[in-house]
A = this chain, B = another copy of it.
Amino acid sequence: MDAATFRLLGHQLVDWIADYREQVETRSVMSMAKPGEVRARFPPTPPATGGHLAEALRTLERDLMPGITHWNHPSFFAYFPSNTSYASILADIVASGLGVQGMSWQTSPAATELEEVVMDWLRQMVGLSTAWTGVIHDTASTATLCALLCARERASSYAQNAKGLQSGEAPLVIYASDQAHSSVEKAALLAGLGRAHLRLLDSDDRHALRVDRLKSAIEADRGAGLRPCAVVATIGTTGTTAMDPLEDIAAVAKQHRLWLHVDAAMAGTAMVLPECRQMWEGVEAADSLVFNPHKWMGVGFDFSAYFVRDPEHLIRVMSTNPSYLRTAQDGEVKNFRDWHIQLGRRFRALKLWFFLMDVGVEGLQARIRRDLQNARWLADRVKDAKDWVLMAPVSLQTVCIRHVPDELQGDEEALTCHNLEIARRINESGKAYLTPSMLKGRQMLRVSIGAECTERRHVEAVWSELLSSVTHQH
Protein backbone atom coordinates (compact mmCIF):
# COMPACT_ATOMS: atom_id res chain seq x y z
CA MET A 1 0.00 0.00 0.00
CA ASP A 2 1.33 3.43 -0.83
CA ALA A 3 0.96 6.51 1.34
CA ALA A 4 -1.81 7.95 -0.82
CA THR A 5 -3.96 4.86 -0.37
CA PHE A 6 -3.23 4.88 3.36
CA ARG A 7 -4.40 8.49 3.57
CA LEU A 8 -7.57 7.68 1.68
CA LEU A 9 -8.46 4.56 3.66
CA GLY A 10 -7.32 6.10 6.94
CA HIS A 11 -9.67 9.05 6.48
CA GLN A 12 -12.44 6.64 5.56
CA LEU A 13 -11.93 4.57 8.69
CA VAL A 14 -11.72 7.60 10.98
CA ASP A 15 -15.08 8.68 9.58
CA TRP A 16 -16.42 5.15 9.83
CA ILE A 17 -15.52 5.05 13.53
CA ALA A 18 -17.03 8.49 14.13
CA ASP A 19 -20.23 7.39 12.37
CA TYR A 20 -20.23 4.21 14.43
CA ARG A 21 -19.85 6.06 17.70
CA GLU A 22 -22.47 8.63 16.78
CA GLN A 23 -25.10 6.00 16.06
CA VAL A 24 -24.02 3.21 18.42
CA GLU A 25 -27.10 3.81 20.56
CA THR A 26 -29.31 2.53 17.72
CA ARG A 27 -27.61 -0.87 17.76
CA SER A 28 -28.36 -3.91 19.84
CA VAL A 29 -25.87 -3.81 22.74
CA MET A 30 -25.14 -7.53 22.77
CA SER A 31 -24.38 -9.23 19.50
CA MET A 32 -27.19 -11.50 18.33
CA ALA A 33 -24.85 -13.63 16.24
CA LYS A 34 -25.10 -17.38 16.52
CA PRO A 35 -21.95 -19.46 17.01
CA GLY A 36 -20.18 -19.90 13.68
CA GLU A 37 -22.18 -17.23 11.89
CA VAL A 38 -19.38 -14.70 11.54
CA ARG A 39 -16.76 -17.33 10.74
CA ALA A 40 -18.87 -18.62 7.87
CA ARG A 41 -18.62 -15.25 6.13
CA PHE A 42 -14.88 -15.59 5.62
CA PRO A 43 -13.14 -17.90 3.15
CA PRO A 44 -11.32 -20.93 4.57
CA THR A 45 -8.02 -20.07 2.88
CA PRO A 46 -5.94 -16.89 2.85
CA PRO A 47 -5.95 -14.59 -0.18
CA ALA A 48 -3.23 -15.55 -2.65
CA THR A 49 -2.99 -12.06 -4.08
CA GLY A 50 -3.24 -8.65 -2.47
CA GLY A 51 -5.03 -5.43 -3.27
CA HIS A 52 -8.29 -6.41 -1.63
CA LEU A 53 -8.26 -4.19 1.44
CA ALA A 54 -10.47 -1.39 0.15
CA GLU A 55 -12.98 -4.05 -0.83
CA ALA A 56 -12.74 -5.68 2.62
CA LEU A 57 -13.46 -2.36 4.30
CA ARG A 58 -16.69 -2.14 2.39
CA THR A 59 -17.78 -5.43 3.96
CA LEU A 60 -17.13 -4.41 7.57
CA GLU A 61 -20.71 -3.50 8.25
CA ARG A 62 -22.14 -6.64 6.66
CA ASP A 63 -19.64 -9.25 7.82
CA LEU A 64 -18.18 -8.02 11.05
CA MET A 65 -20.64 -5.74 12.82
CA PRO A 66 -23.33 -8.38 13.45
CA GLY A 67 -20.71 -10.10 15.62
CA ILE A 68 -19.83 -7.06 17.71
CA THR A 69 -21.03 -6.56 21.28
CA HIS A 70 -20.85 -2.82 21.82
CA TRP A 71 -18.74 -2.01 24.86
CA ASN A 72 -19.01 1.72 24.18
CA HIS A 73 -22.81 1.63 23.97
CA PRO A 74 -24.55 3.86 26.54
CA SER A 75 -26.65 0.89 27.66
CA PHE A 76 -23.68 -1.38 28.27
CA PHE A 77 -24.02 -2.36 31.93
CA ALA A 78 -22.22 -5.71 31.80
CA TYR A 79 -18.91 -6.76 33.38
CA PHE A 80 -17.07 -3.55 34.12
CA PRO A 81 -16.90 -0.71 31.61
CA SER A 82 -14.02 -0.75 29.13
CA ASN A 83 -14.06 2.79 27.87
CA THR A 84 -12.10 3.80 24.83
CA SER A 85 -12.27 7.54 24.51
CA TYR A 86 -11.84 9.33 21.21
CA ALA A 87 -8.54 10.68 22.53
CA SER A 88 -7.33 7.12 23.10
CA ILE A 89 -8.16 6.12 19.57
CA LEU A 90 -6.17 9.08 18.29
CA ALA A 91 -3.24 8.10 20.49
CA ASP A 92 -3.32 4.60 19.09
CA ILE A 93 -3.06 5.98 15.57
CA VAL A 94 0.21 7.59 16.63
CA ALA A 95 1.41 4.51 18.52
CA SER A 96 0.62 2.15 15.65
CA GLY A 97 1.89 4.59 13.05
CA LEU A 98 5.25 5.09 14.69
CA GLY A 99 5.46 1.36 15.42
CA VAL A 100 8.31 1.75 17.89
CA GLN A 101 9.37 -0.63 20.63
CA GLY A 102 9.77 0.68 24.16
CA MET A 103 11.52 -2.38 25.55
CA SER A 104 14.71 -0.48 26.32
CA TRP A 105 15.24 3.22 26.80
CA GLN A 106 17.44 3.39 23.72
CA THR A 107 14.91 1.71 21.45
CA SER A 108 12.81 4.88 21.76
CA PRO A 109 13.65 7.19 24.65
CA ALA A 110 10.37 9.05 24.23
CA ALA A 111 8.37 5.90 24.93
CA THR A 112 10.14 5.34 28.24
CA GLU A 113 10.22 8.96 29.33
CA LEU A 114 6.63 9.83 28.43
CA GLU A 115 5.64 6.74 30.41
CA GLU A 116 7.58 8.05 33.41
CA VAL A 117 5.81 11.40 33.05
CA VAL A 118 2.23 10.15 32.72
CA MET A 119 2.59 7.40 35.31
CA ASP A 120 3.75 10.01 37.76
CA TRP A 121 0.78 12.20 36.80
CA LEU A 122 -1.45 9.21 37.47
CA ARG A 123 0.18 8.62 40.85
CA GLN A 124 -0.59 12.18 41.83
CA MET A 125 -4.14 11.97 40.49
CA VAL A 126 -5.05 9.06 42.76
CA GLY A 127 -3.30 10.54 45.77
CA LEU A 128 -0.40 8.12 46.16
CA SER A 129 2.81 9.34 47.79
CA THR A 130 6.11 9.79 45.97
CA ALA A 131 7.23 6.45 47.40
CA TRP A 132 5.47 4.75 44.46
CA THR A 133 6.79 4.21 40.95
CA GLY A 134 4.47 3.24 38.13
CA VAL A 135 4.83 1.17 34.98
CA ILE A 136 2.28 0.30 32.32
CA HIS A 137 1.25 -3.35 32.22
CA ASP A 138 -1.19 -4.85 29.76
CA THR A 139 -3.77 -6.23 32.18
CA ALA A 140 -4.38 -6.58 35.89
CA SER A 141 -4.12 -10.36 35.53
CA THR A 142 -0.53 -10.04 34.41
CA ALA A 143 0.25 -7.42 37.03
CA THR A 144 -1.16 -9.58 39.80
CA LEU A 145 0.92 -12.50 38.56
CA CYS A 146 3.98 -10.24 38.71
CA ALA A 147 3.03 -9.21 42.23
CA LEU A 148 2.74 -12.79 43.45
CA LEU A 149 6.02 -13.68 41.74
CA CYS A 150 7.68 -10.75 43.50
CA ALA A 151 6.14 -11.88 46.78
CA ARG A 152 7.32 -15.44 46.18
CA GLU A 153 10.85 -14.29 45.53
CA ARG A 154 11.03 -11.95 48.52
CA ALA A 155 9.74 -14.63 50.84
CA SER A 156 12.08 -17.25 49.45
CA SER A 157 15.21 -15.08 49.20
CA TYR A 158 15.14 -15.30 45.40
CA ALA A 159 14.59 -19.01 45.10
CA GLN A 160 14.18 -18.55 41.34
CA ASN A 161 17.93 -18.13 41.11
CA ALA A 162 18.46 -21.42 42.93
CA LYS A 163 16.03 -24.33 42.99
CA GLY A 164 12.84 -22.38 42.45
CA LEU A 165 9.99 -23.84 44.43
CA GLN A 166 11.51 -27.27 43.97
CA SER A 167 13.72 -27.20 47.04
CA GLY A 168 11.41 -29.04 49.37
CA GLU A 169 11.32 -26.10 51.75
CA ALA A 170 8.21 -25.22 53.69
CA PRO A 171 5.49 -24.16 51.23
CA LEU A 172 4.58 -20.50 50.75
CA VAL A 173 0.94 -19.52 51.23
CA ILE A 174 -1.20 -16.78 49.62
CA TYR A 175 -4.28 -15.17 51.19
CA ALA A 176 -7.22 -13.34 49.64
CA SER A 177 -10.96 -13.18 50.16
CA ASP A 178 -13.44 -15.48 48.51
CA GLN A 179 -14.51 -12.42 46.49
CA ALA A 180 -11.04 -11.84 45.01
CA HIS A 181 -10.86 -11.81 41.23
CA SER A 182 -10.25 -15.10 39.46
CA SER A 183 -6.87 -13.73 38.34
CA VAL A 184 -5.58 -14.06 41.91
CA GLU A 185 -6.26 -17.77 41.87
CA LYS A 186 -4.85 -18.05 38.36
CA ALA A 187 -1.71 -16.18 39.39
CA ALA A 188 -1.18 -18.35 42.46
CA LEU A 189 -1.52 -21.51 40.37
CA LEU A 190 0.70 -20.27 37.55
CA ALA A 191 3.31 -19.13 40.07
CA GLY A 192 3.57 -22.75 41.11
CA LEU A 193 2.23 -22.26 44.61
CA GLY A 194 -0.63 -24.72 44.25
CA ARG A 195 -4.27 -24.57 45.17
CA ALA A 196 -3.49 -26.19 48.50
CA HIS A 197 -1.54 -23.08 49.44
CA LEU A 198 -4.14 -20.52 48.44
CA ARG A 199 -6.55 -19.41 51.15
CA LEU A 200 -9.69 -17.79 49.79
CA LEU A 201 -11.05 -16.58 53.10
CA ASP A 202 -14.62 -15.98 54.09
CA SER A 203 -15.88 -12.49 53.48
CA ASP A 204 -18.28 -10.63 55.73
CA ASP A 205 -21.83 -9.65 54.93
CA ARG A 206 -20.56 -6.64 53.02
CA HIS A 207 -18.46 -9.13 51.01
CA ALA A 208 -15.17 -7.79 52.33
CA LEU A 209 -12.31 -9.91 53.64
CA ARG A 210 -12.66 -10.81 57.30
CA VAL A 211 -9.47 -9.86 59.08
CA ASP A 212 -10.16 -12.28 61.92
CA ARG A 213 -10.17 -15.09 59.36
CA LEU A 214 -6.95 -13.79 57.87
CA LYS A 215 -5.25 -13.80 61.28
CA SER A 216 -6.41 -17.23 62.22
CA ALA A 217 -5.47 -18.67 58.82
CA ILE A 218 -1.98 -17.25 59.10
CA GLU A 219 -1.59 -18.64 62.58
CA ALA A 220 -2.88 -22.04 61.55
CA ASP A 221 -0.50 -22.12 58.61
CA ARG A 222 2.45 -21.10 60.73
CA GLY A 223 1.47 -23.76 63.21
CA ALA A 224 1.45 -26.33 60.41
CA GLY A 225 4.95 -25.33 59.36
CA LEU A 226 3.93 -23.39 56.28
CA ARG A 227 5.26 -19.95 55.29
CA PRO A 228 2.65 -17.18 54.87
CA CYS A 229 3.86 -15.19 51.87
CA ALA A 230 1.39 -12.63 50.54
CA VAL A 231 -2.09 -11.22 50.95
CA VAL A 232 -4.12 -9.69 48.13
CA ALA A 233 -6.55 -7.00 49.25
CA THR A 234 -9.25 -6.08 46.78
CA ILE A 235 -10.53 -2.53 46.60
CA GLY A 236 -13.67 -2.94 44.56
CA THR A 237 -14.31 -6.63 44.00
CA THR A 238 -15.60 -7.82 40.64
CA GLY A 239 -18.76 -9.27 42.09
CA THR A 240 -20.03 -6.33 44.10
CA THR A 241 -17.22 -3.70 44.31
CA ALA A 242 -16.71 -4.63 47.95
CA MET A 243 -13.83 -2.96 49.78
CA ASP A 244 -11.47 -5.09 51.82
CA PRO A 245 -10.42 -3.32 55.07
CA LEU A 246 -7.01 -2.29 53.84
CA GLU A 247 -5.67 -0.60 56.94
CA ASP A 248 -6.35 -3.64 59.12
CA ILE A 249 -5.00 -6.01 56.50
CA ALA A 250 -1.87 -3.88 56.21
CA ALA A 251 -1.31 -4.18 59.95
CA VAL A 252 -1.52 -7.96 59.74
CA ALA A 253 0.74 -8.02 56.71
CA LYS A 254 3.28 -5.92 58.53
CA GLN A 255 3.20 -8.07 61.62
CA HIS A 256 3.74 -11.27 59.64
CA ARG A 257 5.94 -9.69 56.98
CA LEU A 258 3.59 -10.63 54.16
CA TRP A 259 3.73 -9.00 50.75
CA LEU A 260 0.64 -6.82 50.42
CA HIS A 261 -0.75 -6.52 46.91
CA VAL A 262 -3.73 -4.25 46.30
CA ASP A 263 -6.06 -5.15 43.45
CA ALA A 264 -7.95 -1.93 42.75
CA ALA A 265 -8.49 -2.79 39.08
CA MET A 266 -11.90 -1.12 39.00
CA ALA A 267 -11.84 1.19 42.02
CA GLY A 268 -8.50 2.84 41.34
CA THR A 269 -10.15 5.24 38.95
CA ALA A 270 -12.49 6.45 41.71
CA MET A 271 -9.46 7.64 43.63
CA VAL A 272 -9.19 10.66 41.36
CA LEU A 273 -11.96 11.89 43.67
CA PRO A 274 -10.55 12.94 47.04
CA GLU A 275 -13.86 12.00 48.66
CA CYS A 276 -13.30 8.34 47.63
CA ARG A 277 -9.81 7.92 49.01
CA GLN A 278 -10.95 6.73 52.40
CA MET A 279 -11.83 3.54 50.51
CA TRP A 280 -8.19 2.60 50.29
CA GLU A 281 -6.93 4.14 53.49
CA GLY A 282 -3.83 2.10 54.33
CA VAL A 283 -2.66 1.77 50.73
CA GLU A 284 0.66 3.37 51.53
CA ALA A 285 1.61 0.26 53.47
CA ALA A 286 1.21 -1.97 50.42
CA ASP A 287 4.06 -3.37 48.36
CA SER A 288 2.29 -3.35 45.02
CA LEU A 289 -0.89 -2.00 43.53
CA VAL A 290 -2.69 -2.40 40.24
CA PHE A 291 -5.57 -0.53 38.71
CA ASN A 292 -6.95 -0.31 35.22
CA PRO A 293 -7.24 3.05 33.49
CA HIS A 294 -8.56 0.92 30.61
CA LYS A 295 -11.74 0.22 32.53
CA TRP A 296 -13.79 3.11 33.83
CA MET A 297 -11.29 5.89 33.20
CA GLY A 298 -11.35 5.91 29.41
CA VAL A 299 -7.82 4.99 28.37
CA GLY A 300 -8.38 2.37 25.68
CA PHE A 301 -7.44 -1.23 26.38
CA ASP A 302 -4.77 -2.30 27.12
CA PHE A 303 -3.46 -0.06 29.90
CA SER A 304 -3.04 -1.36 33.42
CA ALA A 305 -1.19 0.79 35.92
CA TYR A 306 1.14 -1.20 38.15
CA PHE A 307 2.73 0.67 41.04
CA VAL A 308 5.48 -0.66 43.25
CA ARG A 309 7.40 0.67 46.20
CA ASP A 310 10.61 -1.19 45.42
CA PRO A 311 11.40 -1.12 41.69
CA GLU A 312 14.80 -2.69 42.33
CA HIS A 313 13.11 -5.79 43.65
CA LEU A 314 10.75 -5.94 40.67
CA ILE A 315 13.70 -5.63 38.29
CA ARG A 316 15.64 -8.30 40.13
CA VAL A 317 12.73 -10.72 39.68
CA MET A 318 11.91 -9.80 36.09
CA SER A 319 15.18 -8.88 34.41
CA THR A 320 17.38 -10.84 32.11
CA ASN A 321 20.42 -9.28 30.58
CA PRO A 322 21.44 -10.94 27.33
CA SER A 323 24.16 -9.16 25.42
CA TYR A 324 21.89 -8.34 22.48
CA LEU A 325 19.74 -6.20 24.77
CA ARG A 326 22.53 -4.23 26.45
CA THR A 327 22.86 -0.58 25.57
CA ALA A 328 25.26 2.23 26.41
CA GLN A 329 22.73 3.91 28.69
CA ASP A 330 21.99 0.94 30.98
CA GLY A 331 22.34 2.02 34.59
CA GLU A 332 21.31 5.61 34.06
CA VAL A 333 17.87 5.00 32.50
CA LYS A 334 14.85 2.77 32.97
CA ASN A 335 14.58 -0.26 30.70
CA PHE A 336 10.93 -1.12 31.18
CA ARG A 337 11.36 -4.59 29.63
CA ASP A 338 12.65 -5.54 33.10
CA TRP A 339 9.46 -4.37 34.81
CA HIS A 340 7.14 -7.15 33.59
CA ILE A 341 6.89 -10.49 31.83
CA GLN A 342 6.91 -9.33 28.22
CA LEU A 343 9.94 -8.07 26.37
CA GLY A 344 8.39 -6.03 23.54
CA ARG A 345 6.27 -2.99 24.40
CA ARG A 346 3.88 -0.76 22.50
CA PHE A 347 4.03 3.01 23.05
CA ARG A 348 1.01 2.98 25.36
CA ALA A 349 1.89 6.09 27.36
CA LEU A 350 0.52 8.15 24.47
CA LYS A 351 -3.00 7.02 25.33
CA LEU A 352 -2.96 8.43 28.84
CA TRP A 353 -1.25 11.60 27.68
CA PHE A 354 -3.79 12.30 24.92
CA PHE A 355 -6.66 11.38 27.23
CA LEU A 356 -5.61 13.79 29.96
CA MET A 357 -4.85 16.60 27.54
CA ASP A 358 -8.36 16.16 26.20
CA VAL A 359 -10.41 15.85 29.40
CA GLY A 360 -8.17 17.21 32.16
CA VAL A 361 -8.32 15.95 35.71
CA GLU A 362 -11.38 18.05 36.47
CA GLY A 363 -13.26 16.73 33.46
CA LEU A 364 -12.51 13.18 34.51
CA GLN A 365 -13.60 13.88 38.08
CA ALA A 366 -16.92 15.28 36.87
CA ARG A 367 -17.64 12.16 34.82
CA ILE A 368 -16.74 9.78 37.65
CA ARG A 369 -19.02 11.74 40.02
CA ARG A 370 -21.82 11.50 37.43
CA ASP A 371 -21.49 7.72 37.35
CA LEU A 372 -21.45 7.41 41.14
CA GLN A 373 -24.60 9.52 41.30
CA ASN A 374 -26.29 7.43 38.62
CA ALA A 375 -25.54 4.28 40.60
CA ARG A 376 -26.96 5.82 43.79
CA TRP A 377 -30.05 6.86 41.88
CA LEU A 378 -30.60 3.29 40.69
CA ALA A 379 -29.89 1.88 44.15
CA ASP A 380 -32.55 4.19 45.58
CA ARG A 381 -35.08 3.01 43.01
CA VAL A 382 -34.32 -0.61 43.86
CA LYS A 383 -34.67 0.05 47.59
CA ASP A 384 -38.09 1.58 47.04
CA ALA A 385 -39.38 -1.06 44.62
CA LYS A 386 -41.53 -3.93 45.75
CA ASP A 387 -39.86 -7.34 45.40
CA TRP A 388 -36.53 -5.92 44.26
CA VAL A 389 -33.53 -6.43 46.53
CA LEU A 390 -30.11 -4.79 46.70
CA MET A 391 -27.65 -7.62 47.13
CA ALA A 392 -24.65 -5.58 48.30
CA PRO A 393 -23.67 -2.10 49.38
CA VAL A 394 -23.26 0.25 46.43
CA SER A 395 -19.81 1.58 47.12
CA LEU A 396 -19.02 2.59 43.56
CA GLN A 397 -20.92 2.35 40.28
CA THR A 398 -22.05 -1.26 40.27
CA VAL A 399 -25.53 -2.08 41.52
CA CYS A 400 -26.15 -5.72 42.38
CA ILE A 401 -29.81 -6.59 42.50
CA ARG A 402 -32.32 -9.32 42.13
CA HIS A 403 -36.02 -9.74 41.88
CA VAL A 404 -37.65 -11.78 44.64
CA PRO A 405 -41.39 -12.12 44.06
CA ASP A 406 -43.39 -13.32 47.03
CA GLU A 407 -44.19 -16.68 45.52
CA LEU A 408 -40.51 -17.54 45.05
CA GLN A 409 -39.30 -16.42 48.48
CA GLY A 410 -36.81 -18.88 49.87
CA ASP A 411 -36.67 -21.05 46.74
CA GLU A 412 -33.13 -20.38 45.53
CA GLU A 413 -33.42 -22.62 42.52
CA ALA A 414 -36.52 -20.88 41.29
CA LEU A 415 -34.98 -17.48 42.03
CA THR A 416 -31.98 -18.38 39.97
CA CYS A 417 -34.11 -19.36 36.98
CA HIS A 418 -36.28 -16.31 37.42
CA ASN A 419 -33.39 -13.84 37.50
CA LEU A 420 -31.48 -15.57 34.72
CA GLU A 421 -34.62 -15.23 32.65
CA ILE A 422 -34.75 -11.49 33.38
CA ALA A 423 -31.13 -11.16 32.24
CA ARG A 424 -31.76 -13.23 29.14
CA ARG A 425 -34.78 -11.16 28.14
CA ILE A 426 -32.98 -7.86 28.58
CA ASN A 427 -29.76 -8.94 26.91
CA GLU A 428 -31.56 -10.54 23.99
CA SER A 429 -33.79 -7.50 23.57
CA GLY A 430 -30.63 -5.62 22.59
CA LYS A 431 -31.79 -2.66 24.64
CA ALA A 432 -29.27 -3.15 27.44
CA TYR A 433 -26.58 -5.62 28.45
CA LEU A 434 -25.98 -6.70 32.02
CA THR A 435 -24.22 -9.59 33.73
CA PRO A 436 -25.96 -12.34 35.69
CA SER A 437 -23.65 -13.60 38.40
CA MET A 438 -23.71 -15.70 41.55
CA LEU A 439 -23.00 -14.19 44.95
CA LYS A 440 -22.38 -16.82 47.61
CA GLY A 441 -24.91 -19.18 46.07
CA ARG A 442 -27.47 -16.55 45.23
CA GLN A 443 -28.24 -15.46 41.69
CA MET A 444 -28.03 -11.74 41.09
CA LEU A 445 -27.91 -9.22 38.26
CA ARG A 446 -24.99 -6.83 38.05
CA VAL A 447 -25.79 -3.43 36.60
CA SER A 448 -22.39 -1.86 36.18
CA ILE A 449 -22.69 1.80 35.25
CA GLY A 450 -19.86 3.81 33.77
CA ALA A 451 -19.65 3.63 29.99
CA GLU A 452 -18.37 7.03 28.92
CA CYS A 453 -21.61 7.93 27.15
CA THR A 454 -24.02 6.55 29.75
CA GLU A 455 -26.24 9.37 30.99
CA ARG A 456 -29.01 9.29 33.59
CA ARG A 457 -31.61 8.60 30.89
CA HIS A 458 -29.90 5.32 30.01
CA VAL A 459 -29.96 4.22 33.63
CA GLU A 460 -33.62 5.18 33.81
CA ALA A 461 -34.23 3.12 30.69
CA VAL A 462 -32.55 -0.03 32.01
CA TRP A 463 -34.52 0.30 35.22
CA SER A 464 -37.74 0.48 33.17
CA GLU A 465 -36.63 -2.57 31.25
CA LEU A 466 -35.99 -4.44 34.48
CA LEU A 467 -39.40 -3.50 35.81
CA SER A 468 -41.22 -4.41 32.64
CA SER A 469 -39.30 -7.67 32.19
CA VAL A 470 -40.89 -8.77 35.43
CA THR A 471 -44.38 -7.57 34.57
CA HIS A 472 -44.06 -9.29 31.24
CA GLN A 473 -42.93 -12.51 32.82
CA HIS A 474 -45.79 -12.83 35.27
Residues 206-237 (chain A) with a chain B CB within 8 angstroms: none
A274 contacts across to B, CB distance below 8 A: none
A106 at the interface (CB under 8 A from B): yes
| Distance, CA A48 to CA B272, complexed state (A) | 12
A121 at the interface (CB under 8 A from B): yes
A149 at the interface (CB under 8 A from B): yes
| Distance, CA A4 to CA B7, complexed state (A) | 18
A438 at the interface (CB under 8 A from B): yes
A282 at the interface (CB under 8 A from B): no
Partner of A51, one of B190, B300, B343, B360: B360
A194 contacts across to B, CB distance below 8 A: 159-167
Closest Cβ of chain B to A343, distance in Å, is 5
Look across to chain B and name the residue whose beta carbon is closest to the beta carbon of A84: B99
A429 at the interface (CB under 8 A from B): no
A324 touches B120 (CB 8 A): no
A100 touches B69 (CB 8 A): yes
Closest Cβ of chain B to A293, distance in Å, is 12
A391 at the interface (CB under 8 A from B): no
A301 touches B344 (CB 8 A): yes
A332 contacts across to B, CB distance below 8 A: 35
A197 at the interface (CB under 8 A from B): yes
Closest Cβ of chain B to A317, distance in Å, is 8
Residues 108-125 (chain A) with a chain B CB within 8 angstroms: 108-111, 113-114, 116-118, 120-122, 124-125
- A sample of 30 cross-chain residue pairs with beta-carbon separation below 8 angstroms, ordered by A number, consists of A6-B18, A7-B15, A13-B97, A35-B333, A36-B113, A38-B114, A39-B116, A42-B117, A46-B361, A47-B360, A48-B362, A56-B357, A60-B94, A68-B111, A79-B324, A89-B97, A92-B93, A140-B343, A141-B343, A161-B194, A162-B195, A163-B197, A164-B195, A165-B166, A167-B194, A182-B322, A192-B193, A238-B322, A239-B324, A301-B344
| Distance, CA A120 to CA B42, complexed state (A) | 11
B50 touches A139 (CB 8 A): no
A192 touches B168 (CB 8 A): no
Known: A72-B99, A197-B164, A332-B35. A53 touches B108 (CB 8 A): no
A385 at the interface (CB under 8 A from B): no
A113 contacts across to B, CB distance below 8 A: 36-39, 67
Residues 288-307 (chain A) with a chain B CB within 8 angstroms: 294, 300-302
| Distance, CA A356 to CA B238, complexed state (A) | 39
B11 touches A14 (CB 8 A): yes
| Distance, CA A324 to CA B189, complexed state (A) | 20
Residues 74-114 (chain A) with a chain B CB within 8 angstroms: 78-79, 82-90, 92-94, 96-101, 105-111, 113-114
A131 at the interface (CB under 8 A from B): no
Known: A6-B90, A166-B197. A69 touches B99 (CB 8 A): no
**6 tightest A-B contacts by CB?**
A164-B194, A67-B110, A192-B192, A84-B99, A17-B97, A10-B14
